[in-house]
A and B are shown apart, each in its own frame.
Chain A
Amino acid sequence: MPEAFYIYCLGEEGELSPLFDEKLIEAIEPGTKLQLIAADALAAVASVVPLADYGEEGFQARLAEPAWVAARAMRHERVLEHFASRASVIPLRFGAIYLKRARVEEMLHERAAELRSFIKRLRGKEEWGVNLFCDRAQLLEQIASLSPALREINERAAKASAGQAYLLRKKVDAQRADEARAEVRRVAGELERKLSAESDGVVRLRLRQAETAEHGDLAAKLAFLVEREGFKDFRAAAEELAAHYASAGFRLELTGPWPAYNFVAESEVR
């Protein structure tokens, strides 16, 4: 069966090579082994995959099967976590395929300087995700009781005729929604500022379609690059913010440590 090379992550050969003397974890396809492809003192963690599933046509068809993708994405992640916790590696996204070993070596050679600078930047650091959730009902309630402008309109509505009161209440609703949106933006901004101070970089992530969890709607999603040594402080800062905003209907969720997916260039490397 024709085969190709699936690439997980890149690092320094001297650092990755000894890890292959230890017990390794499962590759993306059952029954295959992880291997190292090296050039210019750099190396790629790779494994062999069947071209029928990972070739251009086959892969497009497989992508339409969530279960197929999910199982492999989880294995990709496990391989990355294994190496990221033991060495400074550049994580690659799911789906970097080379037909020939020699092409991987060429890529390492051609991109050597750039790859080395990524490896240096990521050394000793991990990615942490911070998700901000907002309980809208609780936030609206909080705003109604705190905003002087809204209190004033509400007081007028209480004294007004039925028709006028109706219009005033509609005005209250619209203004309350505006203030809620502004408050979500403000809290997200403060989160970004305060946690940036405890980290080496921040990226604002795209929100997927309306995501609702037990603790409200997802209002912001941030990724931080955090020194392993400094995580205690980062976590303490996040907990302080969480405690501070809990009564206003906000919840913070910390996820990680992740391989630093969001801190290597978004641009394509060819």
Chain B
Amino acid sequence: MTQEEFTELEQSDLSLLETLDHVLNRGLVIAGEITISVADVDLIFVGLNVMLTSVETAREVLVERNRKASGDE
């Protein structure tokens, strides 16, 4: 994942899952020469949930570390 994509994900947080639900799962399928169906949407959601959780955990760890660092000063 590039830095840019990572930032994009972090900004969205909860609305991300709601958006994916709309974009991946609903609406008109216009099949071109290549038919693509995102059949494993639930799996993608699970993957994302885990990823968002780890982003959240990483953030907490950083905040905690910063708090401790400033407390030591």
**B contacts with A: majority SS:** helix
B40 at the interface (CB under 8 A from A): yes
Q: For B22, give the chain A residue with the smallest CB separation.
A: A261
* Mask: chain B, 7-38; 1 = CB below 8 Å from A; 0 = not: 01100100110111111111111111110111
Enumerate chain B residues within 8 angstroms of A205, measured Cβ to Cβ: 26
A69 touches B44 (CB 8 A): yes
Q: For A108, give the chain B residue with the smallest CB separation.
A: B30
B6 touches A70 (CB 8 A): no
B16 touches A93 (CB 8 A): no
* Mask: chain B, 25-59; 1 = CB below 8 Å from A; 0 = not: 11111111110111010101111100100000000
A90 at the interface (CB under 8 A from B): yes
Bound form: Cα–Cα A208–B33 in Å: 30
Q: How far is the CB of A60 from chain B (nearest CB, A)?
A: 8
* A67-B30 contact given A73-B20, A74-B16, CB 8 Å threshold: no
A163 at the interface (CB under 8 A from B): no
Q: For A30, give the chain B residue with the smallest CB separation.
A: B4
* A268-B32 contact given A30-B4, A68-B1, CB 8 Å threshold: no
A63 at the interface (CB under 8 A from B): yes
The one of B16, B18, B32 in contact with A96, judged by C-beta atoms closer than 8 angstroms, is B32
A255 at the interface (CB under 8 A from B): yes
**Chain B: number of interface residues, binned into ranges:** 35 or more
B73 at the interface (CB under 8 A from A): no
A77 touches B22 (CB 8 A): yes
A265 touches B51 (CB 8 A): no
The one of B6, B18, B42, B48 in contact with A255, judged by C-beta atoms closer than 8 angstroms, is B18
* Interface-centre pick from A7, A54, A66, A255 (highest chain B CB count, 10 A): A66
Bound form: Cα–Cα A98–B30 in Å: 10
A92 touches B30 (CB 8 A): yes
A104 at the interface (CB under 8 A from B): yes
B32 touches A261 (CB 8 A): no
Enumerate chain A residues within 8 angstroms of B5, measured Cβ to Cβ: 67-68, 70-71
Interface set of A (CB-CB < 8 Å, partner B): 4-5, 7, 10, 30, 54-56, 59, 63, 66-71, 73-74, 76-77, 80, 90-100, 103-104, 107, 118, 129, 205-206, 208-209, 223, 255, 258-259, 261-262, 264-265, 268-270
| 24 contacts across the A-B interface (CB closer than 8 A) | A54-B36, A55-B34, A56-B34, A66-B44, A66-B47, A67-B5, A67-B9, A70-B5, A70-B44, A73-B19, A76-B23, A91-B27, A91-B28, A93-B26, A93-B27, A94-B38, A208-B21, A209-B42, A255-B15, A262-B26, A262-B27, A268-B29, A268-B31, A269-B31
